[in-house]
């Protein structure tokens, strides 16, 4: 008997099925937008797609009246710079602390409870303190991202390293490995693919903290623009910006996934067999 669980779509059907929900949402949007425009020709809440395209074209190709920059690209560059520095710093902290805590019982005993407690502090709640300590400039925005995701990376990597079978650790020592060699040759290679996976999972929160920081004080950036034009309900700018942020996050996620599989194929052996 043919059961629903056994119906597997072919590649063409798969693409069609994947596109369908997007098309449906687009159609609903167009209808609602037209309906609101019919009621109020000046409506700003659900602008037609043509209007969003015009606005984006203007922001991407015409220099800003005041600064002379191409708004979309300067916003994107400012935000990506903050995001990459923040992610990079958080990854470095996560890797170093994660390996140390996971491998050295002495370090773990001393630091793990602190990390566990710090990871529970909601970063947004201590924002005013961050401002006073780190100022309102670039540093505080990067620090917010780092504080937001580094504790998660540290804990995740520490758990990964702790979960390395003790047989491996014992065997490496039998072969004469020092603690330093254990860390670099046994723990690090196994932690790396996990770090990339954890970074992928952190992309969402990292963007959240980036946008929040830019909403609070900034001169440029994707979040800055959204919160600035929000003052006059310019949804023709906000909606495309949201789509753009989503696209960037999706691409970063995809790139990290590719990187992990290219650099550490052995960690994904199970996956290819499926």
Query: Binding residues for other proteins, per CB under 8 A?
Result: 24-25, 28-29, 31-32, 35-36, 39-45, 54-55, 58, 65-66, 127-128, 131-132, 135-137, 215-219, 224, 227-228, 230-234, 236
Nearer to other proteins, 49 or 228 (CB): 228
Q: Which is nearer to other proteins, 37 or 200 (CB)?
A: 37
> Which is closer to other proteins, CB of 15 or CB of 45?
45
Distance CA 207, CA 63 (A): 26
**Minimum distance from residue 13 beta carbon to other proteins (Å):** 23
Rounded Cα gap, residues 27 and 17, in angstroms: 16
Q: What is the C-alpha to C-alpha distance for residues 160 and 186, in angstroms, rounded to an integer? A: 12
Select 43 or 253, whichever has its Cβ closest to other proteins.
Answer: 43
CA distances from 61 to 2, 58, 64 (A): 55, 5, 9
Residue 108 burial (C-beta neighbours within 10 Å; 0-12, 13-18, 19+) = middle
Query: Residue 36 or 200: which CB sits closer to other proteins?
Result: 36
Instruction: Supply the minimum distance, in Å, between the C-beta of residue 28 and other proteins.
Output: 4
Closest approach of other proteins to the CB of residue 14, in Å: 22
CB of 228 to other proteins, least distance (A): 6
Polymer length in residues for the chain? 274
Integer Cα distance of 110 and 9 in angstroms: 53
As a whole number of angstroms, the distance between CA 73 and CA 62 comes to 11
Q: How far is the CB of 55 from other proteins (least distance, A)?
A: 6
């Amino acid at each position: 008997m043919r059961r629903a669980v056994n119906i597997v779509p072919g590649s063409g059907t798969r693409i069609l099925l994947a596109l369908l929900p997007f098309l449906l949402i687009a159609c609903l949007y167009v209808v609602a937008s037209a309906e609101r425009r019919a009621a109020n020709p000046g409506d700003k809440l659900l602008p037609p797609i043509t209007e969003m395209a015009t606005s984006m074209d203007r922001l991407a190709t015409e220099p800003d009246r005041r600064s002379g920059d191409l708004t979309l690209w300067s916003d994107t560059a400012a935000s990506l710079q903050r995001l990459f520095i923040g992610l990079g710093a958080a990854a470095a902290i996560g890797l170093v602390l994660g390996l140390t805590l996971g491998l050295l019982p002495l370090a773990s005993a001393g630091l793990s409870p602190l990390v566990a407690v710090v990871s529970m502090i909601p970063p947004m709640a201590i924002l005013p303190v961050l401002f006073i300590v780190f100022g309102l400039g670039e540093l505080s925005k990067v620090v917010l991202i780092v504080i937001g995701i580094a504790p998660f990376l540290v804990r995740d990597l520490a758990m990964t390293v702790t979960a390395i079978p003790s047989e491996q650790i014992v065997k490496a020592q039998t072969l004469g490995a020092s603690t330093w060699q254990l860390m670099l040759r046994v723990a690090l290679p196994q932690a790396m693919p996990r770090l990339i996976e954890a970074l992928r999972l952190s992309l969402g929160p990292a963007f959240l903290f980036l946008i929040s920081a830019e909403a609070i004080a900034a001169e440029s950036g994707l979040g800055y623009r959204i919160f600035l034009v929000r003052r006059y309900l310019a949804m023709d700018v906000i909606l495309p910006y949201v789509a753009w942020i989503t696209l960037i996050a999706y691409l970063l996620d995809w790139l990290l996934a590719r990187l992990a599989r290219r650099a550490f194929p052995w960690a994904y052996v199970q996956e290819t067999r499926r």
